[in-house]
Amino acid sequence: MRIGVVTFPGSLDDRDAQRAIRLAGAEPVALWHGEHDLHGVDALVLPGGFSYGDYLRAGAIASLSPIMAEVIDAANGGMPVLGICNGFQMLTEAHLLEGGLIRNEAGRFICRDQQLRIENSTSDWTNGFAVNAEITIPLKNGEGSFMASAETLARLEGEGRIVARYLGNPNGSLNDIAGVSNARGNVVGLMPHPEHAVEAGFGPDTAEAMASGVDGLTFFTSVIARALVAA
């Protein structure tokens, strides 16, 4: 399986995402925002960072990049797409996901290992998790507070599209929402960073050992497993 990672001007975690894909057992493919070409990949990751310096709104200018035309077509056609942090912001700006992200409630940039509960174990990116699995992966953003209208929130909740919820709300996100999916479950956006918790020695601390947390790996193995089932 080949999974593309799109690099935008100001992306920071593109190489981390490529590494996570490789550790999960797929082939990472570097894609460039200025091209109109997905190079035949089977899935896509929009990585974290500060594309265009968060000018206008976080993710807004990147969502208008040339490659986003192909990303939107592919997502609407069912291709798995994961947006992490700035990538999540891009997916909301591109209208592939509902809701929006605003500045954290306390006005501060937050960088910490964050506990989450995985509430949707059927999406293309979370099917490898047990129902209500509790995991810990890094969170690092200044504008991660999830907002949506009451109607949108009710629909997301009713349709089981809250992918992950914070255990201990760090930023004022409505309903403790850390990640959501589209109706089909192929497009997922997540503010915390699974790609930073994929290799023992370089992840969050666990009760067993320092830096041994690899809870993020399951997002990437999930999409690979889903592709194998489909094949």
Contact residues for another protein (CB under 8 A)? 56-57, 60, 64, 92-93, 98-100, 102-107, 145, 147-149, 152, 172
Nearest-approach distance from CB 145 to another protein, in angstroms? 8
Annotated catalytic residue, options 33, 93, 143, 193: 193
- Within 10 angstroms of residue 9's Cβ, the number of other Cβ atoms is 14
Examine the residue annotation and report whether 159 is marked as an active-site residue of this protein: no
Q: Take residue 7 and report the two structure tokens written for it.
A: 């690099």
Nearest-approach distance from CB 92 to another protein, in angstroms? 7
- If we measure between CA atoms, which residue out of 230, 191, 32 comes closest to residue 100? 191
Choose between 64 and 200: whose C-beta lies nearer to another protein.
64
Examine the residue annotation and report whether 85 is marked as an active-site residue of this protein: yes
Annotated catalytic residue, options 33, 70, 85, 196: 85
Choose between 104 and 181: whose C-beta lies nearer to another protein.
104
Choose between 7 and 145: whose C-beta lies nearer to another protein.
145
Active site (catalytic) residues: 85, 193, 195
